[in-house]
Amino acid sequence: MIISLLLLFLSILLMFFAKYLFYENPKHLAYFVTAFIAILFLLRLLHSMVRKMQIALGRAEGIIKVLRDSRDRYALAVSGIDDGIWDWDIKSGEIIFSSGWKKMLGYRADEDIDAMRFWNGIVHKDDVKMLNNAIQYHFDGRTKHYIAEYRVKSRNGLYKWLMDRGTVTRDEKGRPLRMVVSSRDITNRKNAEFALKSRTDELRIANKQIKKEIGNTRKFKQAVDSSTDSVMMLDTDGSIEYVNPSLERATGYDFSELRGKIFTTLYQEKTKAELLQKIKEAFLRGRAYRSEDVVVSKKDGGWYTQEFSLYPIRKDGRIIHFVVIGQDITKRKEVDTAKSEFVSLASHQLRTPLSAIRWYSEMLLDGVGGELNKQQKKYLQEVYNANIRMIELVGTLLDVSRLDLGKFPINKKMTNVSYVVETIIKELQPIIEKKNLKVTKKFAEKIEDMCIDPKMLRMVFHNLISNALKYTPENGEISIVLKQESGKLFVEVADTGCGIPKEQQSKIFTKLFRADNAREIDSSGTGLGLYIVRVIVEKMKGSIRFSSEENKGSTFYVIIPMQDKKECVAKN
Amino acid sequence: MSENEKKTILVLEDDQSLLDAITHQFVMNGFNVISSKNTDEGLYKLEKEGPVDVIWLDHYLIGEKDGLDFVIKIKSSPRWKDIPVFVVSNSSGNKSIQSYMRLGVDQYYTKSDYDLQQIINDIKFSIEKKKD
């Protein structure tokens, strides 16, 4: 508009000045008019170009505005999105986080979170490297989409797991331009994953354990089933849960016939009522019980004697099962009875001729059959002495047999211990004098009577003291110590005798063992004395040990606990 | 044996050789000896040839009954319950020893552990004591 007005003004001016300019030379007018028209055209062209440019600019502006508006609207929209979204302008590094993203992590929608804060404070420092790698992989084109799982710090300081998914947009050169990422809170899923993993691990271990238990149970069942002992598993009410094949064979009953029955029904017919009562009581009390006199009734009406053992099985302190193990000991009992009877009979049968030899030798020596000359007397005395040794040997063998069988009679009485020792020393006086041995007694002032079998105590002392005397050379010394301390009797028998060689010491308490040096001194010993002492001391719940050096001497130490006085029969 | 009257002993023993020795020695010691190998015969002889001053009793005897049965019989008879009984036996059963002591026998000897004269001396001594 202005240009047009300007052109008009110029034209009018030219018209006025044309007269003067072109009067002299009219050719110049032609040039001038042509130039003028050319300029007019140029100006018009210029004008339209300017106008076009203006329009283009206007349009561009318009587009930019639209873009800006749309971006603003988008940013507004993004910030308003409840889903976790962030928009990353890769070139500038700027990131816009949606309100949903912020909310996800406990931040306020208006809280200012930028890329710097994101990378340096929010992403877990252990995950930054991994995240960068994931992004880079995608930018490099190695992955189709950007996907990552990583931890971020929420507002309250606790970490959450996010799963990102996005696709990069690139510029015309293929360089990463921008990426919009959707983030989802997968903390729950992750926790579930971890829980699942640890659960799976737990289950794997438990499974292994179970397999092992099953294996053990199988092995156990195999052991139970292949045992020749009869085995029963009972429930807590006494009903039979399981029986092994041995029991089926022994009783003639099938498992199916016994299942659910109360276990005592197998015994009630033939077992003594008192014993049955004791078993029931033990069961009710949850106590173990053993007996060698239970009689089991068989299906065919027969019966057999059983060595019966009842055990409670506990788990976490509560009884969950009982086990009954039984062994048919009919044979054993018969053998036992036979052995005892044999021992009794042997004792009688062996000793009778020995008595005859003794008494007849005695009578001959007394001159009952006529006066004997010196030599006859001497030889007869040998016979008599040898016979005495034989009698002692038989007595010892019988004692050992009965101790082994457990049939050695125990008669407890209140016994004065020092008195027993004194009588033994007195009995052994002949040998003490003969060898001129010095016997020192160190008895404590006050030794309480013990509730003990005096016969057995005598055997202990007799063996120890006579050994000391036997193996000590002439003019040697024996000392005997007796004292009581903390409810126990302490006995020490020390000698200056031949001692026990070190390499033979471990066998000293075994049956029939005699050390070489002892054999040299006295070829007639039985090797049973110390065995008997050991068994008796053990029966009294005591202990015995010794210290010895060859050619120096030995000391035997015996400890016997004071026994419960209740068991003593007050006899006079 | 301070008195003029001979003492009588009843010996119950199943082994002949031992019985001979016992009889011989008691006779040597001034006793009258009545002997038997069996309880029933012993009781019969006691009845017929008695009274006796002392009884020597073995545990194992010929026949089904043993020394214990004999003692029970003796002790339950008012006539014989006060006769001292000396059980001289080689049997080792503890139960029987206890039973004998409970029934009131005077002494129990394990035969082979004693010289014959030792036992005879004890018996003589106890008879002397009884008299006083």
Position B1 pLDDT exceeds 50:
no
Whether residue A124 sits in one domain with residue A24? no
Count residue pairs from A and B with Cβ separation < 8 A: 63
**Choosing among B22, B24, B90, which should be mutated to test the A contact, i.e. which has the most A CBs within 10 A?**
B90
Position A115 pLDDT exceeds 90:
no
**How many structural domains is chain B composed of?**
1
**Choosing among A355, A384, A390, which should be mutated to test the B contact, i.e. which has the most B CBs within 10 A?**
A355
Q: Which among B22, B93, B113 has the least Cβ separation from residue A344? A: B93
Residues of chain B in contact with residue A427, where contact means CB-CB under 8 angstroms, are none
Determine what percent of chain A is predicted with pLDDT higher than 70: 95
Range of the domain at B29: 7-131
CB contact under 8 A, B21 and A356: yes
With an 8 Å Cβ cutoff, is A357 touching chain B? Answer: no
pLDDT of residue B39: 93
Give me A124's structure tokens: 């877990």
Residues of chain A in contact with residue B92, where contact means CB-CB under 8 angstroms, are 343-344, 347-348, 398, 402
Position B3 pLDDT exceeds 60:
no
Whether residue A472 sits in one domain with residue A348? no
Among A84-88, A109-113, A286-290, the minimum mean pLDDT is found in: A109-113
Residue B1 lies in a domain: no
Which residue, of A273, A301, A327, is where some domain finishes? A327
Residues of chain B in contact with residue A360, where contact means CB-CB under 8 angstroms, are 17, 21
Whether residue A548 sits in one domain with residue A510? yes
Q: State the pLDDT confidence band at B12, using cuts at 50, 70 and 90.
A: very high
Interface confidence, given as ipTM, is 0.92
Q: What is the mean pLDDT of residues A429-457?
A: 90
Distances (CA, A) of A570 to A413, A419, A451, A452, A565: 7, 18, 10, 12, 10
Q: Per residue in B22-74, pLDDT tens?
A: 999 999 999 999 999 999 999 999 999 978 999 999 998 888 888 999 999 99
Residues near A229 by Cβ (< 8 Å), separated by ≥ 6? A246, A325, A326, A327
Whether residue A430 sits in one domain with residue A557? yes
Long-range CB contacts (within 8 A, 24+) of A498-505: A498/A471, A498/A472, A498/A473, A498/A550, A498/A551, A499/A548, A499/A549, A499/A550, A499/A551, A499/A552, A499/A553, A499/A554, A500/A546, A500/A548, A500/A550, A500/A554, A501/A550, A502/A550, A505/A546, A505/A548
* Residue in A with minimal Cα distance to B16: A356
Position A325 pLDDT exceeds 70:
yes
Whether residue A139 sits in one domain with residue A18? no
Q: What is the mean pLDDT of residues B65-91?
A: 91
* Residue in B with minimal Cα distance to A384: B115
With an 8 Å Cβ cutoff, is A323 touching chain B? Answer: no
pLDDT of residue A1: 67
| Domain containing residue B70: CATH number | 3.40.50.2300
Residue B114 lies in a domain: yes
Q: Per residue in A359-418, pLDDT tens?
A: 999 999 999 989 999 999 999 999 999 999 899 888 888 888 888 877 777 778 888 999
Residue A264 lies in a domain: yes
Position A571 pLDDT exceeds 50:
no
With an 8 Å Cβ cutoff, is A344 touching chain B? Answer: yes
Residue A486 lies in a domain: yes
